[in-house]
Amino acid sequence: MEARVSSGVLTKTQSPFSSPLRGRKLQSLRNMSTLPNTIHNHQFSNASLYLRSTFSSRTHGFKQAIKDDSREFELSSLTALSPLDGRYWGKVKDLAPYMSEYGLIYFRVLVEIKWLLMLSQIPEVIEVPSFSAEAQSYLLGLIDGFSMDDALEVKKIERVTNHDVKAVEYFLKQKCQSQPEIAKVLEFFHFACTSEDINNLAHALMLKEAMTKVMFPTMDKLVEAICKLAKANASVSMLSRTHGQPASPTTLGKEMAIFAVRLSRERQEISQVEMMGKFAGAVGNYNAHIVAYPTVIWPQIAEQFVTSLGLKFNPYVTQIETHDYMAKLYYAIIRFNNILIDFDRDIWGYISLGYFKQITKAGEIGSSTMPHKVNPIDFENSEGNLGKANEDLTYLSMKLPISRWQRDLTDSTVLRNMGGGLGHSLLAYKSVLQGIGKLQVNEARLSEDLNQAWEVLAEPIQTVMRRYGVPEPYEKLKELTRGRAVTKESIREFIEGLELPEEAKTHLLKLTPHSYVGAAVELAKTVDSAVNVINGSEVLETCR
């Protein structure tokens, strides 16, 4: 499907993905300024009263400027209510062809046409004979050639019908009047369908395409970037911190590898969620279908139709598909996002410790008042947007599976917000990728911390003492290290005084905070194998 959305400023008629306030029902922002003209505090100083008067006059001018503006605050990147449609549009617009009002209309058109083609293949439905190659090509051309102008035409019809799905039906009838074969069966568009037969399949296809074409490739790039970070720093020793205190050393690469594997595991879980669809009429029983054509096995036809679209068939439904798969999908994305929040915070902390420097760009400003600062803004932006995404996705997961009796309309308006959670997630993923690209490991700082943490060798020393039966090893090391400055010399002196075999003693004397990293190096170097095992035969081309 070709996206017909321009990359610049959008007009009122174009329908971006993240907010129905912007796409479906934008109101004038003329009355956006409701700033008070009176401040009820009589204890203000004369200076405050002066500022209040100046502020009032300025806001009056602002209101007048809005009133006089001939553009009437038409929709643009500067007037969008959602930052996804404004400030961040350039980073998330890849989702727009799938998650927008345009995308919804497109997939409704696709479902309606595919259903008519399916009817033409059912022998008992003699009123819709098999279409010629020319007629089939014409119908498929309406899908392949669907444009922004077509979507606008549907919206124009909707202004009369006040029903968005019916507007699609009327649009298709208009388009097909000139094709003789199809013109004879126009009333079989939307045959035996409730609006939700069309909508649920359209929503499932929107999600499937958005995940396949946009979200998964970006998730894979993210895992790949962290894999590369892990392998590049597999041997870079680093002081661990448990409870914020110095702990047994690790390597920077191994700590990055953990996140690559965790994210890969959740990415795989997300890909296993099956997008589901129903096509069973007004209350899920094929009532109208069976009355019209009693001999047709409609549940079988419905299953064939839904699966032909690449979706999983749900046979037990009311008027709506139950949305349980959506909850499963969104919760899986939330888990992926939570792991990434953990990553963001760890990287933020490592930057704070000086373990990472950030490559700067000419002209960039870190702080408006402190020239020396280079803030970890990419990881902060990511963390904030992941939180917003999870909030949106949590609400969708909790609300959508709940519908009164055979259906209520509360899901309809909520489903229009599907793009928000994906949009904020995508923005966060791209922010992390940008941030990783700026990272530069500061090995000198990492080494400095290790050189000041000889106490971490208390663990291996007391463990070897246990092996050889030295009494009270833990207690002896506790007395040596807790609350005292521990140096290389004091550790060596302690080891040399132990009653241990010379081989064991020699091995302990060779230990340093830099070398005491266990299997961390190997774990980091083999992270690609771990990621590929998780993904089975569908190996991600990430860490090779």
Q: Do 438 and 459 reside in the same domain of the chain? A: no
Q: Do 342 and 472 reside in the same domain of the chain? A: no
Q: Do 320 and 216 reside in the same domain of the chain? A: yes
pLDDT tens digit sequence for 202-251? 999 999 999 999 999 999 999 999 999 999 999 999 999 999 999 999 99
Q: Do 393 and 500 reside in the same domain of the chain? A: no
How many angstroms separate the Cα of 520 from the Cα of each of 214, 355, 397, 514, 523?
Answer: 34, 18, 38, 12, 5
Q: How many helices (H) and strands (E) does the chain have?
A: 25, 6
More confident residue, 267 or 474: 267
Mean pLDDT across the stretch 114-127? 98
- Mean pLDDT over all residues of the chain? 88
Q: Do 273 and 319 reside in the same domain of the chain? A: yes
Q: Do 256 and 315 reside in the same domain of the chain? A: yes
pLDDT tens digit sequence for 54-66? 555 555 655 555 5
Whether residue 416 is contained in a domain is answered as: yes
Which sequence positions are flagged as catalytic?
Answer: 243, 367
Q: Do 257 and 396 reside in the same domain of the chain? A: yes
For residue 177, is pLDDT > 90?
yes
| pLDDT for res 212 | 97
Q: What is the CATH number of the domain that holds 412?
A: 1.20.200.10
User: What residue spans of 293-399 are helical by DSSP H?
Assistant: 298-308, 324-353, 377-399
Give residue 321's domain range: 208-279+308-361+373-442
CA distance 72 to 328: 42
| pLDDT for res 61 | 58
Residue position matching structure tokens 């702080």: 367
User: How many domains does the chain contain in total?
Assistant: 2
Whether residue 489 is contained in a domain is answered as: yes
Q: Do 485 and 465 reside in the same domain of the chain? A: yes
Whether residue 152 is contained in a domain is answered as: no
Q: What is the CATH number of the domain that holds 463?
A: 1.10.40.30
pTM of the model: 0.86
More confident residue, 214 or 362: 214
| pLDDT for res 533 | 83
For residue 542, is pLDDT > 50?
no
How many angstroms separate the Cα of 102 from the Cα of each of 23, 217, 235, 244?
Answer: 9, 22, 50, 50
Residue 538: pLDDT band by 50, 70, 90 thresholds?
very low
Q: Do 410 and 500 reside in the same domain of the chain? A: no
Pair 527, 261: CB distance under 8 Å: yes
Mean pLDDT across the stretch 511-532? 95
Pair 529, 264: CB distance under 8 Å: no
Q: Do 436 and 465 reside in the same domain of the chain? A: no
CA distance 91 to 85: 10
For residue 429, is pLDDT > 80?
yes
Whether residue 317 is contained in a domain is answered as: yes
Q: Do 315 and 395 reside in the same domain of the chain? A: yes
Q: Do 256 and 313 reside in the same domain of the chain? A: yes
Whether residue 332 is contained in a domain is answered as: yes
Whether residue 435 is contained in a domain is answered as: yes
Whether residue 506 is contained in a domain is answered as: yes
Residue position matching structure tokens 């993240």: 18
User: What residue spans of 192-323 are helical by DSSP H?
Assistant: 195-210, 216-232, 252-271, 287-292, 298-308
Whether residue 122 is contained in a domain is answered as: no
Pair 22, 12: CB distance under 8 Å: no
Closest CA to 215 of 99, 100, 322, 331: 99
